[in-house]
Amino acid sequence: MIRQMNRETEALVRAAEKLIRCLKPLEFAAPVAYTYNPLVYAWSAYRLYLERFGGGRKRVLLLGMNPGPWGMAQTGVPFGDIEAVREWMGIEGSVARPVVEHPRRPVLGFAVTRGEVSGRRLWSLMNRRFGSADLFFRDHFVGNYCPLLFLDGAGKNITPDKLRSTDRETLFLCCDDHLRATIQTLDPDWLIGVGRFAEQRLRMVQNMLSLTERKIAGILHPSPASPAANRDWAARTTEQLISLGVW
């Protein structure tokens, strides 16, 4: 059952709608050949995520970089591995298609059968530690700095830090503004970057807002592309968050 939207949820929805408007006119130069925005074509699922889990003040904000082709790009949920989103969070919604798709990276929505390793690792850890999604999201929220998926002509993922410098500048203006709104809405004590890029953007926004009372740290990104993440990412991340005092 969807909860009635409260102040925080309404603010998150408005911030996401503003981000959509800000991103709409942007164009990206090579090596980007395809750009997917799941906030547009998977809006109903993303809004459901905000409605179900975005209410109330959060103690911890975990921030990723941008969608993976088999995660948020399919389900509209950050780190959105299909099994975790549908079974653990109880979220399922209609998902349309990007205007232009790469043939090797189709958007199948909740009919996708391929999982996302990063999302599976992250949500499996939270499931084991907290049990229910409701218990985890009572004090935590997970977002992405950038909602866009970038692909080159071969269908290879391009991360925001690899964009042309002028493209990064205009993109980061939109994403920084959205991150500021998210922090101000959720009022977290801890800002945790999932990966070095997200941690750096959190520190940049903290400097802009003079949020010195908030604690910032980074954890290892769960991507299988990282050799370190393939050596028991869950145990290492748990130890890291406990040593920081987050858990």
Residue range 45-78, pLDDT digits in tens: 999 999 999 999 999 999 999 999 999 999 999 9
Pairing of β 34-36 and β 215-219:
unpaired
Strands of 60-64's sheet, edge to edge?
Answer: 140-144, 60-64, 190-194, 215-219
Instruction: Please report, rounded to a whole number, the percentage of residues in the chain having pLDDT higher than 90.
Output: 91
Q: Determine which helix (DSSP H) or strand (DSSP E) holds 204, and give its type and residue range.
A: helix 196-209
Q: Per residue in 80-111, pLDDT tens? A: 999 999 999 999 989 999 999 999 999 999 99
More confident residue, 206 or 170: 170
In contact, 67 and 147? CB cutoff 8 Å: yes
The reply to whether 163 falls in a domain is yes
| Residue 23 resides in a domain | yes
Element holding 236 (H helix, E strand): helix 233-244
State the pLDDT at residue 4: 59
Instruction: Please tell me the distance from the alpha carbon of residue 88 to that of residue 175, in angstroms, as a whole number.
Output: 28
* 4 within some domain: no
Q: Is residue 3 part of a domain?
A: no
Q: Model confidence over 17-26: pLDDT tens digits?
A: 999 999 999 9
Domain annotation covers residue 155:
yes
For residue 142, give the 3-state DSSP assignment: strand
Here the CATH number for the domain that contains residue 27 is 3.40.470.10
Average pLDDT, the chain: 95
pTM above 0.85, yes or no: yes
Asked whether the predicted pLDDT for residue 1 surpasses 70, the reply is no
pLDDT digits (tens, 9 = 90+) for 136-165: 999 999 999 999 999 999 999 999 999 999
Q: State the average pLDDT over residues 20-38.
A: 97
Is 186 within a domain?
A: yes
Tell me if 2 is assigned to some domain: no
- How many domains would you assign to the chain? 1
Cα-atom radius of gyration of the chain, to the nearest Å? 17
Query: In the structure, what pLDDT confidence band is assigned to residue 208 with cuts at 50, 70 and 90?
Result: confident
CA neighbor of 129 nearest in space, from 182, 60, 72, 229: 60
Q: Is residue 73 part of a domain?
A: yes
Predicted confidence band at 2 (pLDDT cuts at 50, 70, 90)? very low
Q: What is the domain range of residue 117?
A: 9-244
What was the pLDDT predicted at 118? 97
Bridge partners, 192 (sequence order): 62, 217
